[in-house]
Chains A and B, each alone.
Chain A
Amino acid sequence: MLSYVLDRLKSSLVVLFVVSIITFFVLMIIPGNPAQLILGTDATPEAIAELSSAMGLDKPLYQRYLSWLLDLLKLDMGKSYVYGESVTSLIARSIPVTFSIAIFAMTMAVIIAFLFGMLSAIKKNSIIDYFSRSIMQLGTAIPSFWIGMVLIVYFGVKLKILPVSGFVPIERGFAPFIKSIFLPSLVLAIGEVGTLLRIVRSSMLDSLKQDYMDMARVKGLGWGKIYIKYALRGALTAPLTIIGMQLAKLAGGTTVVETIFALPGLGRLVLTAVEHRDIVLLQGLVMFITSTVVFVTLIVDILVMLFNPRIKSFHQGE
């Protein structure tokens, strides 16, 4: 168990290291001098050269990479040109926004997907199955920006019960916080629920066909035991993996939804960094988002292992 976690941790660190190299050098290759961008087109060549050396841009690439990497380890990712603030504090400020939306959205998606996925597998070809399959189709097919706008118009403008945009931190009260993240989370949940529902349904269908289900029925167990203890227990691995991937994706920021709802999250930060060629900010963001994805994946892998004793015993060397 511990050796498995250490193993996975090691490979995660390797991934992060490789990503740091790619991030740094690819962004350096992109044309455009940051000093020029900061000073504008009217700047004199002398001023640009001065700023370049002040920013360390005249040093060799590998030196710049090493000093960037060392700073990164101290959680110092440099200063953003656009905001004039440290990248670390910019990211720290966006985390609550993006993470609360991501977690709330996944909670909704998981509840709906498991409820309808299980029901539609158990009652295959019933009304509830057709309904679930429509959810799958619609969720996957409708673009999130359109749903977002429809929801804003209906709940924000017509009914006036939910805010149209903006983020209220949880310190300012739980109800306003939930209200402010409800619509964006719902939009994200609709986007993710289709895939997850499909996986839950097919895993359940597969599990229901297994021989152990015959045994559960012949023992005369109640529906709860039959469907949750036996069927669902055998159908968890694939959905858990998908949930991890989806959560990792959402935790990395969701540009479209954050833009529609004017939320100051990671996605918007990425957008700004790209638009303004804020390379320092972009490097920091890519590193942070990669770390998040790697971390969430690690957690999910450990969870999947805990749920699947066969993998566990394999790593115990049995």
Chain B
Amino acid sequence: MNNTVELKNLHIKAGNTSLVYKTSLIVKEGEIFGLVGESGSGKTLTAKAIINLLPQGLTYTADEIITVGKNMLTASNEEKRDHIGKNVGYIPQNTVFYLHPLIKIKNQIGDGYIQHTHKTKQEALEKAEMLLSKVGFKSPKTILNYYPWQLSGGMRQRCNIAMALMNDPKLIIADEPTTALDTTVQKQVMELFKAINEEMKLSILLISHDLGLVKRYSHSLGVMYAGQIVEAGSASTVFDEPKHPYTQLLIKIIPSLNIKKNEPLTEIPGFVQDKDRDSQGCLFYNRCPKAMDICRVKVREHMKEDHYYRCNLE
């Protein structure tokens, strides 16, 4: 099986501060890969590095970034933009300003399609209508004539999803796609992702802080902590035999999965550190219930078949 995304030893810095350090991940063709972690753990930055969208002022190095068969480290800017536009759909976290507020949906949903397929605007609108009804709009024609701010958050999110699908991408990057939505719409959107994934065989990189969601929908996952992936593997392995204490704690505190009635919610004490993320020791040291002295200076990386984790415990 081919890999849609191969990322090796990504290191993102703002000035001298490391934000993401030694992060590697592989998204296989046709799978949903969940990337979980707390706010500020570097999930979005990692995803943005894959699609050449890192904000100005950040620098990055990596041993390898291959996105849908193209080496992002050697391609020119133009090549990257063109390749990403053709092959990747991006569904952002907050939908309010990702659609241009002053442009009608019909005038922005199809321009990527027109750019890459050289089809007419009419054809683009037909495809857009088809996709909009696929994401659940009853009357896509009227939606096309709206401005984004005339739609609700859920409607905008579905427009974004339709827009991301315009070019029949090989990879969808969905950054917290359900955060702004209420629970019923959340479920609709996630079922839609699942259907797209199964029908079109496309890979989805699903970024979320909701471990329950990731458990339900993804085939593999990576757990990020303070700018590093601390554990990764197939969903069944990670959820059944979590090796890293952080993952173990996270799984334990998913309310929907493990909390009994009247039991208070548990938490992991402490905060995610934002300094010294490039330290050679374990970054979870301060909050880890099983921390040993050696964890401060050194951490071991394990790779057992597909199961990766970085911890000094076996």
Report A's interface with B, CB cutoff 8 A: 210-212, 214-222, 225, 229-230, 233-234, 307-310, 313, 318
Q: Name the A residues within 8 Å of B81 (CB-CB).
A: 217, 220
Question: Which residue of chain B is the closest to A124 with respect to CB atoms?
Answer: B56
Tell me the bound Cα distance from A229 to B103 in angstroms.
9
A220-B86 CB under 8 A given contacts A225-B115, A310-B149: yes
**SS of A interface (majority):** helix
- CB of B186 closer than 8 Å to a CB of A: no
Tell me the bound Cα distance from A158 to B250 in angstroms.
81
A212-B84 CB under 8 A given contacts A219-B115, A220-B112, A221-B111: no
- CB of B22 closer than 8 Å to a CB of A: no
- CB of B241 closer than 8 Å to a CB of A: no
Chain B nearest CB, measured from A236 CB (Å): 8
Q: Name the B residues within 8 Å of A211 (CB-CB).
A: 92, 94, 96-98
User: Which of B81, B82, B84 has the most chain A CB atoms closer than 10 A to its own CB?
Assistant: B81
Q: Name the B residues within 8 Å of A222 (CB-CB).
A: 115
- CB of B85 closer than 8 Å to a CB of A: yes
Question: Which residue of chain A is the closest to B104 with respect to CB atoms?
Answer: A309
A307 adjacent to B102 (CB under 8 Å): yes
Number of residues from B at the complex interface, CB < 8 A:
29
A313 adjacent to B150 (CB under 8 Å): yes
Question: Which residue of chain A is the closest to B96 with respect to CB atoms?
Answer: A211
23 A-B pairs with CB atoms under 8 Å apart are A210-B97, A211-B92, A211-B94, A211-B97, A212-B101, A214-B53, A214-B90, A214-B98, A215-B90, A215-B92, A215-B98, A216-B100, A217-B52, A217-B53, A219-B111, A219-B115, A220-B115, A221-B115, A230-B103, A309-B147, A310-B149, A313-B150, A318-B150
Chain A nearest CB, measured from B39 CB (Å): 18
Chain A nearest CB, measured from B286 CB (Å): 34
Contact with A along B110-123 (1 / 0, CB 8 A): 01100110000000
Q: Name the B residues within 8 Å of A229 (CB-CB).
A: 103, 111
Question: Which residue of chain A is the closest to B90 with respect to CB atoms?
Answer: A218
Q: Name the B residues within 8 Å of A214 (CB-CB).
A: 53, 90, 92, 98
Q: Name the B residues within 8 Å of A217 (CB-CB).
A: 52-53, 81
A212 adjacent to B115 (CB under 8 Å): no
A218 adjacent to B53 (CB under 8 Å): yes
Question: Which residue of chain A is the closest to B86 with respect to CB atoms?
Answer: A220
Tell me the bound Cα distance from A212 to B51 in angstroms.
16
From residue 200 to 231 of chain B, which have CB atoms closer than 8 A to chain A? none
Q: Name the B residues within 8 Å of A307 (CB-CB).
A: 102
B100 adjacent to A212 (CB under 8 Å): yes
Tell me the bound Cα distance from A222 to B102 in angstroms.
19
- CB of B83 closer than 8 Å to a CB of A: yes
B98 adjacent to A308 (CB under 8 Å): no
Chain B nearest CB, measured from A125 CB (Å): 10
Q: Name the B residues within 8 Å of A233 (CB-CB).
A: 100, 102-103
The 5 closest A-B pairs by CB, nearest first: A220-B85, A219-B112, A211-B97, A212-B100, A218-B90
User: Which of B82, B90, B98, B149 has the most chain A CB atoms closer than 10 A to its own CB?
Assistant: B98
- CB of B88 closer than 8 Å to a CB of A: yes
- CB of B99 closer than 8 Å to a CB of A: yes
Partner of A218, one of B51, B102, B111: B51
From residue 56 to 106 of chain B, which have CB atoms closer than 8 A to chain A? 81-86, 88, 90, 92, 94, 96-103
Q: Name the A residues within 8 Å of B111 (CB-CB).
A: 219, 221, 225, 229
Chain A nearest CB, measured from B100 CB (Å): 4
A220 adjacent to B82 (CB under 8 Å): yes
Chain A nearest CB, measured from B160 CB (Å): 8
Tell me the bound Cα distance from A220 to B100 in angstroms.
16
Chain A nearest CB, measured from B77 CB (Å): 10
Tell me the bound Cα distance from A215 to B98 in angstroms.
6
Q: Name the A residues within 8 Å of B97 (CB-CB).
A: 210-212
Q: Name the A residues within 8 Å of B163 (CB-CB).
A: 215, 219
A308 adjacent to B51 (CB under 8 Å): no
Tell me the bound Cα distance from A218 to B149 in angstroms.
21
- In the complex, besides A218-B85, A220-B86, A225-B111, 11 extra interface pairs with C-beta distance below 8 angstroms are A212-B101, A214-B90, A214-B92, A219-B85, A220-B84, A220-B115, A220-B116, A222-B115, A229-B111, A230-B103, A233-B102
Partner of A212, one of B88, B99, B116, B150: B99
A309 adjacent to B102 (CB under 8 Å): yes
Chain A nearest CB, measured from B59 CB (Å): 16
From residue 34 to 55 of chain B, which have CB atoms closer than 8 A to chain A? 51-53
Tell me the bound Cα distance from A222 to B116 in angstroms.
10
